[in-house]
């Protein structure tokens, strides 16, 4: 946009006049009475919305964390249950008879060693099957 050349000799005074005139009308137009409450209400509403959104975000994060914790502990419980089942399966059905013990070895100590060895073998078998 090019520069305008204004002849200052006769336009300075009118420009000063016109500026003063425009300046005098500065306060003619006023703000509507309802604008202030409208702005404040809208600002509060928006701030409330932001707070609610932040709360929802935090609640969602907390719920996700809780779900993750519950899932993790449930799976850990499952593992424990598996181990317990394994122990029950191996120990509960172990057929140790006094005759067998007395036939294989005379002392109780050796019978215990044999029983323990067989228990370990059975546990190994069950584990192999599970895998």
**Does 23 participate in binding other proteins (rule CB under 8 A)?**
yes
Instruction: Provide the sign of the torsion angle of the four alpha carbons 88, 90, 93, 96, taken in this order.
Output: negative
Joined together, the tokens standing for residue 32 give 């509507």
Site string for other proteins, 39-58 (x = CB under 8 A): xx-xxx-xx--x--------
| Residue 119 contacts residue 90 (beta carbons within 8 Å) | yes
**Does 127 participate in binding other proteins (rule CB under 8 A)?**
no
**Does 67 participate in binding other proteins (rule CB under 8 A)?**
no
Instruction: Provide the sign of the torsion angle of the four alpha carbons 38, 39, 44, 50, taken in this order.
Output: positive
Nearer to other proteins, 13 or 81 (CB): 13
Gap between the Cα atoms of 64 and 23, Å rounded:
62
Figure out which of the listed residues 22, 109, 129, 131 binds other proteins, where binding follows CB under 8 A.
Answer: 22
Residues that bind other proteins in the complex, under the rule CB under 8 A? 1-4, 6, 11, 14-15, 17-19, 21-32, 35-36, 38-40, 42-44, 46-47, 50
């Amino acid at each position: 946009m090019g520069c305008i050349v204004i002849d200052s000799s006769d336009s300075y005074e009118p420009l000063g006049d016109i500026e003063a005139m425009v300046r005098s009308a500065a306060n003619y137009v006023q703000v509507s009475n309802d604008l202030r409450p409208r702005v404040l209400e809208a600002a509060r509403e928006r701030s409330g919305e932001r707070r609610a959104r932040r709360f929802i975000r935090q609640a969602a994060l907390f719920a996700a964390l809780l779900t993750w914790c519950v899932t993790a502990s449930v799976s850990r419980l499952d593992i424990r249950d598996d181990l317990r089942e394994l122990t029950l399966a191996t120990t509960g059905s172990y057929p140790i008879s006094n005759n067998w013990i007395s036939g294989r070895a005379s002392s109780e100590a050796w019978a215990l060693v044999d029983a323990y060895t067989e228990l370990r073998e059975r546990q190994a078998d069950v584990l192999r099957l599970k895998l």
